[in-house]
Amino acid sequence: MTKLIVICGATATGKSGLALSLATRLGSVILSADSRQVYREFNIGTAKPTLAEQKLVPHYLIDICNPTDTMTVADYQEQAQALIASVPVEPILLVGGTGLYIRSIVQGMKIPPVAPHYQLRSQLESLGQHQLYRMLQQVDPTAGQKIHPNDPVRTLRALEVFYITGIPISEQQGENPPNYPILQIGLDCDVDKLDARIHKRTEQMIADGLVVEVEYLCQKYGADLSLLNTLGYQEIRQYLAGEISLNEAKELTVLHTRQFAKRQRTWFRAYPQIEWFNADDPDLVEKVWQRIDEFINCPGH
């Protein structure tokens, strides 16, 4: 039976490096769980594994979507589940910081197959959150009880699904957990040390050519491409437009990355199944390896 090992945690905690060490030792493969690494040509700013790293260990779910297309959680789940069922090695490593991607696999989320409809969203958003929430309570009272009145993202998504399918999102959701064993490893570290890691990684991305990458993407796809509004790309795009200096772009990237990491930590901490390890522990690889060895060789698994 397939065994799945999840390596998750906030950005810059060293998930990819740990996964590479473990996969090499296990003779395994890595499935990316990163919502931006699925897009081709977005490389440096997404901390995508290098070609050399991808040669060391087979990586999947990277570079599978054009930047002008949209990869939904349902799309990701379908491809990931197919790979888990077909890859002839085990255990398989699922690695990344996109909580919804990971949750879609480990909990078998039932996801309405509705891609974002931007024209509909724009029309709905113009009504304001108060009015949208009242609409949600009318068309889907069950979702209205679960979604906070001040949560515009989930309110909008619930209405979008209802108006496109005619079926309340609450009737389309649920879970169908997989029947294979799963070990979830989380990486975390002291906030000050994480800040230092984020600073270092931002500087490294600039040194590796992030400005040239963003300039190329802007020229090829236009500066209004939605992916260029994401972390790291938005700030450099503002620099290229002459709105801010390069130092300001770096500072903003660090600030926004810290805020993003805080949200990631909050998300992952809500799941008690995750076993946490200190990302700065000098014996991290050996300690995680020991836990994996127990998982693989446990009679119950």
* Residues carrying CATH 3.40.50.300, the chain: 4-110+176-297
DSSP of 83-116, one letter per residue?
HHHH-SSSSEEEE-S-HHHHHHHHS-B-------
Mean predicted confidence (pLDDT) in 150-162: 91
CB-count exposure of residue 137 (10 Å: 0-12, 13-18, 19+): middle
pLDDT value for 161: 92
- 160 falls in which pLDDT band (50, 70, 90)? very high
- pLDDT > 90? residue 46: yes
**For 4-110+176-297, CATH number?**
3.40.50.300
- pLDDT > 90? residue 153: no
- Residue % of the chain over a pLDDT of 70: 99
Mean predicted confidence (pLDDT) in 64-79: 93
Rounded CA separation 248/149 (Å): 35
Cα-based distances in Å from 205 to 114, 118, 179, 198, 233: 34, 31, 40, 10, 11
Q: What is the pLDDT of residues 96-133, one digit of tens each?
A: 999 999 999 999 988 887 878 888 999 999 999 999 99
* CATH architecture for segment(s) 118-172: Orthogonal Bundle (1.10)
- pLDDT > 60? residue 301: no
pLDDT value for 114: 82
Q: What is the pTM (predicted TM-score) of this model?
A: 0.87
* Residues carrying CATH 1.10.20.140, the chain: 118-172
